[in-house]
Amino acid sequence: MTLFMDVHRLDGPVTIDDVKQAHAADLEHQDGHDVHYLRYWVAEDEGKIFCLVDAPNAEAANTVHREAHGLVADDIFPVVEGS
């Protein structure tokens, strides 16, 4: 499994409550794809969402988003966690 950070760039502002609902939908769909969404961050006024996910590959992570709510990431980067 690999850690990925995905980035969603929306056309306008987004609320933390909207992202919370989307994240809950991701959690409902992730097990069938061996994906584990771990955390998310939101820049509300800028309409940007960042998701940390443990997945076998980037496409599996995006498949969960697609099935859960249709909001696929604009970019997905493999990342290494530091302390």
CATH classification at residue 57: 3.30.70.3090
pLDDT for 9 equals 98
Task: Tell me the average pLDDT across 29-54.
Answer: 97
DSSP secondary structure letters along the chain: -EEEEEEEE-SS---HHHHHHHHHHHHHHGGGGT-EEEEEEEETTTTEEEEEEEESSHHHHHHHHHHHTS---SEEEE-----
In a domain, residue 26? The reply is yes
Range of the domain at 47: 2-78
Number of domains in the chain: 1
d(CA 17, CA 1): 29
In a domain, residue 46? The reply is yes
User: What pTM was computed for the model?
Assistant: 0.92
